[in-house]
Amino acid sequence: MGSWTVTSPAYGPTAGYGHVVKAERRELAGLLAIAVVFAIACVFLGRWQYHRFQDKYAADHLVGRNYRSAPVALDRLVPGSGSTLAAKDVWRSVRVSGTYDARAQVLVRNRPLDGAYGYEVLVPLRPASGGPALLIDRGWLPNGQTSDAPDSVPAPPSGAVTITAHLLPSEPAKSATLPAGQFASIDLARVAAQTGRPLLPAYGVLAAESPAPATAPTKLPEPDDGGYWGVNLSYAFQWGLFAIAGLAFPFVFLRRRRRLRAEDEAALVAQSTGPGDPGAAAAVPAVVGRKKRTRIWDDEDD
């Protein structure tokens, strides 16, 4: 039996098994190169997500740890007007004794709580030890009958008071035309300028005060310390799985290609071997191409 010339849809016309093997190796090399580039990209993306997980995990746990820490003296964290609140001390708890400056009480508007928007009440507290006042966020009030102000604002305790508060840095400035005594953000520099009271470069979210007044704004809730870092950790694992799958794909693809070619070889052997020619199978080369499948549009063109 003469040599066979076979047309393979994967490799084009070939003249024998050696041509198929060479084409197959070239295809495998190309797929491996693409798979390696893809895997490297996945590794970099996975490392990026893992670093985001580490940053979020550390930040979230810092918030929770600081919020639940024992109160310390104010001057340990914010010694004076020229100091700043360190990032590691955000939400730290302080205990301060002094008197509220009720005449400098102001409001910050459009503050959310439980899905509603209202106001937060800000009052400077003059420390008994002297120096700049610490602006205290005493809590939240709902909108009043109009959107211009709450219906009423509870007065802070008069006389000496001891408060426990959690420290936060000044918020970014927001420009807005608002009624007198109202602000769009807790911008300490702007509050100090408009009230004429020197303020420390941090403000406190009230946790407790003694003596406690009969009525007071709603206390602000504990900060959300996240858990969102879990999403980034899962993304990091997914990118790792994508890298492994990408490297495995060329070998899976090649194995499937060989299986399909073996099926075609078996079909050709079955067609070429007649009942009276039991040895003809040995003469059929182990190289065939898959028969081109008839497409719908081919039938329509005929």
Walk along the chain (302 residues) in steps of 10 and give the mean pLDDT of each run: 44 53 76 88 89 77 85 89 86 95 95 93 94 96 86 93 96 87 94 94 95 93 73 85 87 81 76 58 46 51 51
pLDDT of residue 12: 46
Alpha helices, H only, the chain? 17-67, 74-77, 188-195, 229-272, 280-283, 296-301
CA distance 117 to 80: 33
**Contacts by 105-108, CB closer than 8 A, 24 or more apart:** 105/153, 105/156, 105/181, 106/181, 106/182, 106/183, 106/191, 106/194, 106/195, 107/141, 107/149, 107/150, 107/153, 107/181, 107/182, 107/183, 108/182, 108/183, 108/184, 108/185, 108/186
CA distance 185 to 164: 22
Contact 134, 205 (CB under 8 A): no
CA distance 237 to 233: 7
Q: Decide the pairing of beta strands 133-142 and 116-127.
A: antiparallel
Q: What would the two tokens of residue 134 be?
A: 């610490």
Which of 200, 162, 205 shows the shortest CA–CA distance to 76?
200
CA distance 171 to 57: 23
pLDDT of residue 274: 55
Which of 258, 110, 102 shows the shortest CA–CA distance to 195?
102
Q: What would the two tokens of residue 262 be?
A: 């073996």
φ/ψ (deg, to 5) at 33: -60, -45
Provide the sign of the torsion angle of the four alpha carbons 45, 49, 55, 58, taken in this order: negative
φ/ψ (deg, to 5) at 217: -60, 160
pLDDT of residue 275: 55
84: Cβ–Cβ under 8 A, 6 or more apart, which residues? 78, 169, 201, 202
Contact 132, 148 (CB under 8 A): no
